[in-house]
Amino acid sequence: MSATIKVLGIPGSLRAGSFNRMALRAAGELAPDGVVFETCEIRDIPFYDGDLEAAHGLPASVVELRAKIHAADALVITTPEYNASISGVLKNAIDWASRPPQQPFDGKPIAILGTSPGALGTVRAQAHLRQILANLNGLVLVQPNVMIGNAGQRFDASGALVDEPSKEFVRNLMVALKTFTLKMKG
């Protein structure tokens, strides 16, 4: 029997019609055998507020997200690009989840993926996301880089990724994530 890993997908957009949620769906569908894929939402996470944390500790939505990250062998994080960086909601979710002790990104294999209607396909946002996760000792896959530009032409009306070259990039990303995660698990 081949080894199985648990992967948690985190979408960096709240939008119902989010291309990045579609990309996350594609990551789950195109993952190799032996990947159990689950996605979560970051919609219920409040703005980070140190006063709130000091008075009440972590909100339930953050406790839940942290537990899911801890339980996963690896993560896939999709990010939109907003003004050449990651979305505010994703940064906010990472900030909350990263609070000590035992911040859950530490030593976690992570694949990042992004798509935008523009030609650059989140290249600038992904560079920032790498930097943020490196600060948390997240083990972001060095290669492949997967940026899906011109998103409006890559997904169909049902939200399925239908562009064959893009599907191949996502497939390769998920194979690389599985291989890397099994190596790290020893």
Ligand X SMILES: Cc1cc2nc3c(=O)[nH]c(=O)nc-3n(C[C@H](O)[C@H](O)[C@H](O)COP(=O)(O)O)c2cc1C
Q: Which of the stretches 50-58, 76-84, 139-147, 172-180 binds ligand X when contact is defined by CB under 6 A?
A: 76-84
Could you tell me which residues come within 8 angstroms of residue 97 by beta carbon, excluding any fewer than 6 positions away? Answer: 62, 65, 66, 69, 103, 104, 105
Q: Which of residues 10-69 bind ligand X (CB under 6 A)?
A: 13, 15, 18-20
How far from chain centre, in Å, is Cα 111? 7
Does the footprint of ligand X cover residue 120 (CB under 6 A)? yes
Exposure string for 5-20, b = 16+ CB within 10 A, e = fewer: bebbbbbbbeeeebbb
117 binds ligand X (CB under 6 A): yes
Give the one residue of 7, 40, 80, 173 binding ligand X; rule: CB under 6 A. 80
Taking CB under 6 A as the criterion, the residue among 41, 58, 82, 130 binding ligand X is: 82
Q: Is the separation of the CB atoms in 42 and 90 below 8 Å?
A: yes
Residue 147: strand, helix, or coil: strand
Closer residue to ligand X, CB minimum distance, 52 or 127 = 127
When asked if residue 81 is in the footprint of ligand X (CB under 6 A), the reply is yes
Pick the closer one to ligand X by CB: 21 or 66. 21
Q: Is the dihedral of CA 156, 92, 74, 173 positive or negative?
A: positive
- Is residue 160 a contact residue for ligand X (CB under 6 A)? no
Work out which of 3, 36, 67, 84 binds ligand X, going by CB under 6 A.
84
How many residues at the interface with ligand X, by CB under 6 A? 14
Q: How far apart are CB 9 and ligand X at their closest, in Å?
A: 13
Contact status: 159 vs ligand X (CB under 6 A): no
Rg (the chain; Cα; Å)? 16
CB of residue 119 vs ligand X: minimum separation in angstroms? 8
Using CB under 6 A as the binding rule, whether residue 158 contacts ligand X is answered as no
CB 42 within 8 A of CB 65: yes
- Closest by CA position to 78, among listed 118, 119, 45, 111: 111
For ligand X, the binding residues (CB under 6 A) are 13, 15, 18-20, 80-84, 116-118, 120
